[in-house]
Amino acid sequence: MSRIAYVNGSYVHHASAAVHVEDRGYQFADAVYEVVAVLNGKILDMEPHLARLSRSLQSLQIAMPMSDKALSVVLNEVKRQNRLRNGILYFQVSRGVAAREHGFPDGSISPSVVVTAKRLNFDAIKEKQKTGISVKTMVETRWARPDIKTVCLLANVLAKAEANKGGATDAWFVDHNGMVTEGTANNAWIIKGSTLITRELSNDILAGITRSSLLEVAEKEGLKIEERSFSVAEAKAADEAFITSTTNFVMPVVSIDGQKIGDGKPGSICQKLIKFYWNYLEN
């Protein structure tokens, strides 16, 4: 079955789906995006993802291309046409197409909207959750507004490539005070004793939807939570560590810069969180 994408009002074959060469997303990264997971045919956390898209668009003064209701119809239609049971829907909105000029185009241009679907095997994620991942810390090289979910991801791409080259799965960015901000596409957490610690929301990190859902789940389960910055040294001395994201859910981090966290295996609280989170997603 061929893959189908949505581009500016049309459902087209993924292989030939395209936007104009002068799309400002392509030329200036003047675009924002979202990724939602589809689990057993259900789109997860649609509302908070649409709310974050709207916040990102507002921050860049890009007009909302369609109502949330219309966008959710498009997302469901892409899911249906791709017969997507498990995977992700990617959606991107750029300022639109205009002759290349740094300044905002004169007059009104229509935002470009693209939606694609990709199958994922979540059993592979479940397997990975049993062993965890490794991260390498790196100086923060992103622009000053990573809280806006723009497609300007070059620093993230390069950091991940450098981490991979050194044998690590991902990178954790570290600010000029030596405090961890977040991963290249995930939020960073540590556990000390029975307390979950994750950086407070600010312009410095993306307000992860998984972060927010897990905070709710953890609170309901009576776990202690501190939303505050933590240093690389504190992370290395933590009992457990993990990341959260739409595609990894809750994923244990078992080593940082080659140093084992705890005994180098997913810890007991993290395993509980994984269980709680799957329970939250599947019910």
Ligand X SMILES: Cc1ncc(COP(=O)(O)O)c(C=O)c1O
Quote the tokens at residue 270: 């993290």
Member of 56, 92, 134, 210 binding ligand X (CB under 6 A): 210
Member of 65, 87, 208, 267 binding ligand X (CB under 6 A): 208
Q: Binding residues for ligand X, how many (CB under 6 A)?
A: 13
Residues 137-156, interacting with ligand X (CB under 6 A): 146
Min. distance of Cβ 20 from ligand X in angstroms?
26
Min. distance of Cβ 16 from ligand X in angstroms?
27
DSSP for 205-252?
Answer: S---HHHHHHHHHHHHTT-EEEES--BHHHHHTSSEEEEEETTTEEEE
Q: Is 181 in the site for ligand X (CB under 6 A)?
A: no
Cα(143)–Cα(66) distance, integer angstroms: 28
Q: Is 274 in the site for ligand X (CB under 6 A)?
A: no
Among 51, 43, 46, CA closest to 84: 43
* Active-site position among 149, 236, 260, 272: 149
Member of 206, 235, 241, 250 binding ligand X (CB under 6 A): 206
Min. distance of Cβ 108 from ligand X in angstroms?
30
Residue 128: active-site member: no
Which of 89/185 has CB closer to ligand X?
185
Min. distance of Cβ 246 from ligand X in angstroms?
3
Which of 134/198 has CB closer to ligand X?
198
Member of 244, 251, 252, 253 binding ligand X (CB under 6 A): 244
Alpha helices in the chain (DSSP H): 24-28, 46-59, 68-81, 122-131, 154-165, 209-220, 232-236, 268-282
Quote the tokens at residue 82: 């791709």
Query: Residue 283 to residues 128, 218, 228: CA-CA distances in angstroms?
Result: 22, 16, 30
| Residues 81 and 12: beta-carbon distance below 8 Å | no
Our measurement of the distance from residue 95's CA atom to the centroid of its chain's CA atoms, rounded to an integer in Å, reads: 21
Cα(238)–Cα(159) distance, integer angstroms: 23
Q: Report the DSSP beta bridge partners of residue 89.
A: 36, 117
Q: Is 94 in the site for ligand X (CB under 6 A)?
A: no
Min. distance of Cβ 187 from ligand X in angstroms?
5
Which of 37/98 has CB closer to ligand X?
37
Just list the catalytic residues. Answer: 149
Q: Which residues of the shown chain bind ligand X in the complex (CB under 6 A)?
A: 146, 182, 185-187, 206, 208-211, 244-246
